[in-house]
A and B are shown apart, each in its own frame.
Chain A
Amino acid sequence: MSAVNPLPQPERRFMSGNEAVARGAWEAGCRVAAAYPGTPATEILEYAATYKDLYAEWSVNEKVALEVTIGASLAGSRALCAMKHVGLNVASDALMTQTLIGVGGGLVVAVADDVGLSSSQNEQDSRHWGRFAHLPVLEPADAQEAYEMTREAFALSEQFDTPVILRLTTRICHVKGVVVAGEREERPVKGFQKNPARMVMTPMNAGRRIPLMLAREEQLRAFAEVTDLNRLEAGQDPRIGFVTSGPTYLHVLESFPNAPLVKLGFSYPPPLGLIRALADQVEQLVVVEEVEPLLEQEIRAAGIPVHGKDLLPRMGELAPHVLRPAIRAFLGEPAEPEQAPKRPLAFTTPVQVFPRPPTMCVACPHLGIYYCLSKIKNTQIAGDIGCYTLGAGHPWNALDTCISMGASMGVALGLDKGRSAADKDKRVLAVIGDSTFLHMGMQGLLDIVYNRGNVTILLLDNSAVGMTGGQEHPGTGRDIHGLEAPKINFRKLVEALGVKPERVHEVNPYELPTLFKALREEVKVDDTSVIITNQPCVLTERYRNKPPYAVDEEKCTGCSNCLAVGCPAIAVTRRETVVKPNGTEKELTFVAIDSAACTGCDLCPGTCGPEAILPLAVFNRAGARV
């Protein structure tokens, strides 16, 4: 096959949707970009930070990130704020009022919905915010469009004096495609224009701005009908016309290449005139939207008969493998088209293979914490979001709740205050990561202290936002570029929030005896206590490997104690059922350590009574087989 694209090499860049958004923002002359990490949006800011002529920051949470970009916009600069879907819940308080104020420099809020829940606590549809806050919503279909629409979003923001929502999904953020990009546009910055009637949202001022916001929404509605971002594409098969938004455009095109469709890039306010024009050409109209039936309801309310979620799932991605069978069934056609070569039946029957859930890393500093927690009885453990959420699973089963960032604090206090008579002796604990604590946990701790909660808090300081790839935060002493930054001191912080100094312990989470002692002591005290760990995430450069360990086969009694640590470097080699002298059966589980993976963290040797876990060097010296 010959080359099929005539463009010269250097102009065709292969980039993800996230990188494309950063590129588009930079080219649009964006001067300030802020975010808190969150899958699938994290890399937007990581890429933005690679541009020298743009200020980029990791903010402590999404609300602060949005507020920073609001300030920058009011200062006259173009500004970009990025977050995952749940981040906009946190930032929404600022958003709902900023919509009344409008913008100075263009303000774009890139929000990424984790459609399909690849790494999130829920699945939600951020297009709702366009309706709720009366803001325009742009929805790219791939990386090229993510780039183009980001540029366009800045222009629209200034043209209509409105923040613009750029709605992305996992399939946009984390798919790489060929992008043809342009050059940076240098823009003069107007500067901050004082105007309290517009920017100080007292009830009277806000009341005056509501009609302006509603008038703007009507202008945007008219614009939706004429913009190139929306278009009607003809097709020869008039049986079904599709209304698509964002990535579903490509899924529909792939699945039903002959169907007429409306492609929405500017999906709120929806261009009902354009959609009506499609409806007039086809027998049936089907809306393909991820996730909620928003367009569907609006189209139906406009008196246009339409199908949508009666045929298609209300959750997850509407990829070809979902779309095709659903629509073919609706048309009364067989699931696989006639012309496709028949695959043997054995091909298509589903395969049963064991699950392979994600694990914590070898030597993760959270392992020791969960080992201890799994050994303490009578606990109720409020958890939070991060790598440590895995503590809810095998082999620890030591986390009882996980809701939203920082929720462990309030939930623990509620478990304490709301306890039933039957639970009166339960020990209430909370587990929270360092980044999560700074994001939204501090206020919760203040509430626990103020209201005299009896909660033992484990603050897992691993000097990283581990879950999203080891980003920096105010507790790491580095900024988004890896440059030195002021480093907050967790002990001082929790003491400042009112925890008594004698109730605060700093521990090395690899020292099991110290950890046990601190935990056992604090769960007995009727007060608020905080145990802070102090060892880094192993995936960051702060972590140092030590000489690895191995298991002495001769000495291993098969007690399986070390497996309770949950380190993935420890694997079962064989199981045996033995009959004890008293006649009862006992299961023995023998193990080996993958010394190539072991980083010598020193945790598991402490769990092995017979001292079968020894430094690898001992075996090498003795010439013994490992």
Chain B
Amino acid sequence: MSANAEDRITNILVAGIGGQGVMTAAEVLSQTAVSQGYDVKKTEVAGMAQRGGVVTSHVRFGRRVLSPAIPDGEADILVGFEPAEALRWCGQLRHGGVAMVNRLRQEPPVVTLGLFPYPDDPVAEMRARGIEVHAFDAGAIARELGNLKLVNTVMLGAISDYLPFPAEILKEAVLARFRERKPALVAVNEEAFEAGRAAQAAT
């Protein structure tokens, strides 16, 4: 970490499970940062992790980004698409970093079959470690809005007030993608984004 604020790198770790939209969220964030003139690096997942496995993406931006891997203990924001996955990666947060967590649990077969326990309360465990956690059921919000795929936008809304650029810019970037590909979904994504923002603030 550099003393010079201009040189500061923003580090965002997005974590979840294959198929949840982790990579899309990371891509939207990165593209937005690129459009703001930052140097940006984003890691992608390779191969097998896509099917039900653990997925993470490191998004880093600033004046000049060197290593694409967020160094241990330097993540500013952890975006956890699933509570146990958030717990798995919480050690990557810096002192004073925040975790934004979707409370919707997804138990893999190894858990439902009784081979491994699911942590009793991952969010409480993170808080016990002294981490600032904002946890809410993004799954329920998305379902209420009629589409589980909106979890993605809900989570982006939730972190939008913690970025070095205004929340409106990220929102506009999210909506612009839909305007281009699926204009019918623009309005509901705007709702999802704002719902995420509000849910985060309420926790």
**B72 and A321 within 8 A (CB):** yes
A346 and B129 in contact, given A358-B53, A568-B52 (Cβ under 8 angstroms) = yes
* Assembled-state Cα–Cα distance A342/B73 (Å): 10
List residues of chain B with CB within 8 A of the CB of A320.
Answer: 67, 69, 71-72
Contact A142 B91 (CB under 8 A): no
Asked, given contacts A351-B87, A394-B109, whether A346 binds B128 with beta carbons under 8 Å apart, the answer is yes
Please tell me if the beta carbons of A468 and B67 are within 8 angstroms of each other in the complex: no
Question: Whole-angstrom distance between the alpha carbons of A467 and B46 in the complex?
Answer: 11
Complex CA–CA separation, A250 to B66 (angstroms): 5
Contact A354 B111 (CB under 8 A): yes
A interface SS class = loop
Task: Determine which of A342, A343, A356, A468 lies in contact with B53 in the assembled complex, contact meaning CB atoms within 8 Å.
Answer: A356
Which of these binds chain B: A55-63, A170-178, A450-458, A499-507? Answer: A170-178
* Least Cβ–Cβ distance between B107 and chain A, in angstroms: 8
Q: How far is the CB of A242 from chain B (nearest CB, A)?
A: 13
Chain A residue with minimal CB distance to B47? A119
Report B1-24 CB contacts with A as 1/0, cut-off 8 Å.
100011000000000011000000
| A178-B40 in contact (CB<8A) | yes
B35-66 CB mask vs A (1 if < 8 Å, else 0) is 11111111111111111111000000011011
Give the A-binding residues of B (Cβ under 8 A): 1, 5-6, 17-18, 30-31, 34-54, 62-63, 65-69, 71-73, 84-85, 87-88, 90-91, 93-96, 107-119, 125, 128-131, 164-165
A127 to B78, CA, bound (A): 36
Are B96 and A341 in contact, CB atoms less than 8 angstroms apart?
Answer: yes
Known: A14-B42, A354-B117, A571-B112. 9 other contacts (CB 8 A): A4-B37, A5-B37, A118-B46, A319-B71, A321-B71, A347-B130, A348-B73, A351-B87, A358-B18
Smallest CB-CB A-B distances: 8 pairs: A119-B47, A3-B37, A354-B116, A358-B53, A39-B47, A572-B112, A359-B52, A346-B129
Q: Tell me how many residue pairs across A and B have CB atoms closer than 8 Å.
A: 192
CA distance A361 to B113 in the complex (A): 18
Whether A175 lies near B43 (C-beta < 8 A) is yes
> Which of A173, A254, A351 contacts B71 (CB under 8 A)?
A254
**Interface, chain A (partner B; CB < 8 A):** 1-5, 9, 12, 14, 16, 39-40, 114, 118-119, 142, 170-171, 173-178, 247, 250-251, 253-255, 317, 319-321, 324, 336, 340-344, 346-351, 353-361, 394-395, 467-468, 563, 568, 571-572, 575, 589
Q: Which residue of B lies closest to A342 (CB)?
A: B95
The answer to whether B51 and A361 have CB atoms under 8 Å apart is: yes
Using Cβ atoms and an 8 Å threshold, which residues of chain B touch A255?
Answer: 67, 71
- Contacts of A4 on B, CB cut-off 8 Å? 6, 37-39, 62-63
Q: Which residues of B contact A14 (CB under 8 A)?
A: 30-31, 34, 40, 42
Residue of A317, A353, A568 with most partner-chain B CB within 10 A: A353
